């Protein structure tokens, strides 16, 4: 049927309106798109350009060089050494296990290290390098380079690691570093990003740990271009970090080495202090260990050997170990009595071999007693009864106060691990800690350095330096930081009557130089080098009345762990004191036989700044001393040769 013209016109008008509406809508939508594109491409261009740049460019940290540690003469103690390692990029290796198998045919790699590397691979993206072997030799690096075609994804790298060229001599002082562990991070409130760098090393114990922040330095940064997968394409620029501070210690490497060697295989400790400045010249704990083992990753067998040794080589006996000071404490009791006017230097007490106190008999070490003794005689013969009687008159609180004034019972803040405060008990301490009253028997025990009394070898050396100088000498371990000298430890004049100190030093001189003195056999005879000292023997077991009646068992007949500790403190020269020394030999028996000879040899080494002449020793000892010097020199040369091989 044919449509009329009227209907055709109406249909045309409707189509035209719809076309116009649709076209307008399309035009409006296109306009909105254009406006949005202009907003994104023009108005927001800078912002999106920055976002794109951030996705393309990464900032990565650069580990700084760790500060090095030197002795007082510039001898290196802890240094940074090139460390060669083998890394694997899994995505470049293809068959990872096949590549590892090929590598192990060239290099001996511990299965433990390989398993750790596999664990890292599972946790990390395939383009990140994983360390397979660390601290390998240049010879091994050469093997890998020659066989590179058979080792896809394997790359030799060089970095820095810590090396302790003196090996065991400074282990207890300096400590060691190791990779940051999850435990290390858990102890920090807000760990620095640098600590998350793979295998980044921090101080674990000792000086390395206590001075970690200064030694670590500040991280640098580099800008690298990465692709969409995060793989590094190229380095754009870098800013080097700030190296850690170089530290110079007060220690003398030669004296430290000699002291360590002289202690030998004993479970012992020795401290040498320069009285003028308070500088710690040697601080040795024996037996020691090689800290390089921990840096490299100590084996289970080596670690078990250290922890199971009854002589406790990992413990720093010089500052961590506290012992009953025994008769070396008698100077404290004597000085307290002199200062409070309870005794004069010529006043005497009678020693029949024991003293009855509150129904209990306290014995002197000499069963028959010493008879009438004054201050000098009491120290020279180490009479116990003289000090029992004196302590009861003086009182424990005055004795404790004097001990603190001389540096006992005080934590000396050296940058070393586990520095102990020791213990100088008094009435308040026992009431607070044990909830008990102080007894007169406690005072009697404390008077000769037994009972609750405890002191470290460091504290005993400080006590001796203060008695010798009359000043509050404070031990100093850091000489300078980046060449800037640290404050002296010379100290101020002690509030102690100089005459009382003079009388005490005179009595200590008699201990070493009077024929009847307990340390006479260990005297120094060189003119101007005479030594003043005090022997000490501290009990580690109770002696029953039955044993005393039958005869006290000799230390030589007891198991090692039940023998008395041997102690000796000294200073020299008597006329112008320069050095103070303390020696503790665990379960060594008597102070005069075990500790005094060691202290005498060490202080002579300090006085002569090297091996002393034989005529400094009594003639009867010279052949033995000559043999000892030759043996120690052979050991020193052997140790240096070993150190050279390790560094090579």
In this structure, what are the phi and psi dihedrals at residue 407, rounded to the nearest 5 degrees?
A: 100, 5
Report whether 463 contacts 406 (CB < 8 A).
yes
Tens of pLDDT, residues 374-403: 999 999 999 999 999 999 999 999 999 999
pLDDT of residue 348: 96
Residue of 47 and 442 predicted with greater confidence: 442
Tell the burial category of 443 from Cβ atoms under 10 Å away from its Cβ (0-12, 13-18, 19+). buried
| 327: annotated active-site residue | yes
Least confident of 34-48, 103-117, 251-265, 311-325: 34-48
Distance CA 388, CA 443 (A): 8
The CB density around residue 520, as the number of other CB atoms within 10 Å, is 17
Report whether 416 contacts 477 (CB < 8 A).
yes
Tens of pLDDT, residues 541-580: 777 666 666 677 777 778 888 889 999 999 999 999 999 9
**Highest mean predicted confidence (pLDDT) among 102-111, 115-124, 382-391, 552-561:** 382-391
**Highest mean predicted confidence (pLDDT) among 35-39, 139-143, 453-457, 639-643:** 453-457
pLDDT of residue 29: 73
Distance CA 343, CA 217 (A): 57
Tens of pLDDT, residues 425-435: 999 999 999 99
pLDDT of residue 192: 81
Tens of pLDDT, residues 443-501: 999 999 999 999 999 999 999 999 999 999 999 999 999 999 999 999 999 999 999 99
Residue of 168 and 545 predicted with greater confidence: 168
pLDDT of residue 187: 82
Tens of pLDDT, residues 246-289: 999 999 999 999 999 999 999 999 999 999 999 999 999 999 99
- 13 — pLDDT class (breaks 50, 70, 90): low
DSSP H or E run through 398: helix 396-405
Distance CA 17, CA 21 (A): 6
Residue of 478 and 240 predicted with greater confidence: 478
β-partners of residue 284 are 270
pLDDT of residue 119: 82
What average pLDDT score do residues 594-621 get?
96
Distance CA 286, CA 457 (A): 13
Q: Residue 11 above 70 pLDDT?
A: no
The tokens describing 578, both together, are 């320069």
User: How much of the chain, in percent, has pLDDT values that exceed 90?
Assistant: 61
Residue of 349 and 223 predicted with greater confidence: 349
Q: Residue 585 above 70 pLDDT?
A: yes
Least confident of 11-20, 109-118, 485-494: 11-20
Residue of 225 and 498 predicted with greater confidence: 498
The tokens describing 63, both together, are 């580990």
CATH no. for 316-617: 3.40.710.10
Q: Residue 152 above 50 pLDDT?
A: yes
**Alpha carbon distances (Å) from 227 to 61, 143, 232, 617:** 19, 33, 7, 76
CA angle 91, 92, 97 (to 5 degrees): 75
What average pLDDT score do residues 142-165 get?
84
Nearest Cα to Cα of residue 317 among 454, 213, 139, 189:
454
pLDDT of residue 494: 97
Q: Where are the domains of the chain?
A: 81-162, 316-617
Q: Residue 12 above 80 pLDDT?
A: no
DSSP H or E run through 502: helix 498-513
Query: What's the 3-state SS for 147-196?
Result: CHHHCCCEEEEEEEEEECCCHHHHHHHHCEEEECCHHHHHCCCCCCHHHH
Query: What's the 3-state SS for 307-363?
Result: HHCCCCCCCCCCCCCCECCHHHHHHHHHHHHHHCCCCCCCCCEEECCEEEECCEEEE
What average pLDDT score do residues 219-238 get?
66
Q: Please list the helix, strand and coil fractions of the chain in percent, rounded to the nearest 5, in that order.
A: 45, 20, 35
- 539 — pLDDT class (breaks 50, 70, 90): confident
Distance CA 549, CA 547 (A): 5
Compute the residue count for the chain.
648
- 322 — pLDDT class (breaks 50, 70, 90): very high
The CB density around residue 117, as the number of other CB atoms within 10 Å, is 20
Tens of pLDDT, residues 495-521: 999 999 999 999 999 999 999 999 999
Report whether 38 contacts 30 (CB < 8 A).
no
Q: Residue 534 above 90 pLDDT?
A: yes
Q: Which fold has domain 81-162?
A: Penicillin-binding protein 2a (Domain 2) (3.90.1310)
- The active-site residue out of 257, 288, 327, 400 is 327
pLDDT of residue 180: 84
């Amino acid at each position: 049927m044919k449509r009329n013209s009227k209907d055709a016109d109406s249909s045309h008008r409707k189509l035209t309106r719809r076309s116009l509406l649709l076209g307008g809508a399309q035009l409006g939508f296109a306009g909105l798109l254009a406006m949005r594109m202009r907003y994104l491409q023009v108005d927001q261009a800078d912002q999106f350009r920055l976002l794109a740049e951030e996705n393309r460019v990464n900032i990565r940290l650069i580990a700084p060089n760790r500060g090095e540690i030197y002795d007082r003469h510039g001898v290196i103690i802890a240094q940074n050494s090139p460390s060669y390692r083998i890394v694997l990029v899994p995505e470049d290796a293809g068959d990872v296990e096949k590549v590892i198998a090929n590598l192990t045919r060239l290099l001996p790699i511990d299965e433990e290290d390989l398993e750790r590397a596999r664990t890292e691979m599972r946790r990390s993206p395939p383009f990140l390098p994983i360390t397979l072997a660390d601290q390998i030799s240049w010879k091994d690096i050469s093997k890998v380079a020659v066989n590179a075609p058979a080792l896809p994804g394997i790359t030799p790298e060089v970095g820095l690691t810590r090396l302790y060229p003196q090996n065991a001599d400074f282990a207890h002082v300096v400590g060691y570093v190791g990779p940051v562990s999850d435990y290390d991070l858990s102890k920090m409130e807000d760990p620095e990003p640098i600590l998350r760098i793979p295998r980044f090393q921090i101080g674990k114990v000792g000086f390395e740990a206590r001075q970690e922040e200064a030694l670590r330095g500040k991280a640098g940064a580099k800008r690298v271009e990465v692709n969409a997968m995060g793989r590094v394409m190229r380095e754009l620029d870098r800013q080097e970090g700030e190296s850690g501070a170089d530290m110079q210690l007060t220690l003398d490497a030669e004296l430290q080495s000699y002291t360590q060697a002289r202690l030998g295989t004993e479970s012992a400790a020795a401290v040498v202090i320069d009285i003028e400045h308070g500088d710690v010249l040697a601080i040795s704990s024996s037996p020691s260990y090689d800290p390089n083992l921990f840096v490299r990753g100590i084996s289970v067998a080596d670690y078990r050997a250290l922890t199971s040794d009854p002589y406790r080589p990992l413990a720093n006996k010089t500052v961590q170990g506290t012992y009953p000071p025994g008769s070396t404490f008698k100077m404290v009791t004597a000085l307290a009595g002199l200062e409070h006017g309870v005794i004069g230097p010529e006043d005497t007490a009678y020693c029949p071999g024991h003293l009855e106190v509150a129904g209990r008999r306290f014995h002197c070490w000499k069963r028959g007693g010493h008879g009438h003794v004054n201050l000098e005689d009491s120290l020279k013969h180490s009479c116990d009864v003289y000090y029992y009687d004196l302590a009861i008159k003086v009182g424990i609180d005055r004795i404790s106060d004097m001990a603190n004034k001389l540096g006992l019972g005080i934590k000396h803040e050296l940058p070393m691990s586990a520095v102990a405060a020791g213990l100088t008990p008094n009435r308040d301490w026992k009431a607070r800690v044990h909830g008990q009253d102080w007894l007169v028997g406690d005072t009697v025990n404390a008077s000769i350095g037994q009972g609750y009394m405890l002191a470290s070898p460091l504290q005993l050396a400080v006590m001796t330096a203060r008695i010798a100088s009359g000043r509050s000498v404070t031990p100093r371990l850091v000489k300078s930081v980046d060449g800037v000298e640290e404050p002296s430890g010379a100290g101020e004049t002690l509030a102690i009557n100089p005459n009382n100190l003079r009388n005490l030093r005179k009595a200590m001189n008699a201990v070493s130089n009077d024929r009847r003195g307990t340390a006479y056999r260990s005297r120094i005879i060189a003119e101007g080098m005479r030594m003043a000292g005090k022997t000490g023997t501290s009990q580690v077991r109770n002696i029953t009345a039955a044993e005393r009646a039958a005869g006290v068992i000799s230390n030589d007949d007891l198991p090692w762990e039940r023998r008395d500790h041997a102690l000796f403190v000294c200073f020299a020269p008597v006329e112008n004191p320069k050095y103070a020394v303390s020696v503790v030999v665990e379960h060594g028996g008597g102070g005069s036989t075990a500790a005094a000879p060691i202290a005498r040899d060490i202080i002579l080494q300090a006085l002569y700044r090297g091996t002393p002449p034989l005529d400094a020793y009594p003639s009867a000892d010279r052949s033995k001393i000559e043999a000892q010097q030759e043996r120690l020199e052979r050991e020193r040369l052997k140790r240096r040769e070993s150190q050279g091989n390790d560094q090579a």
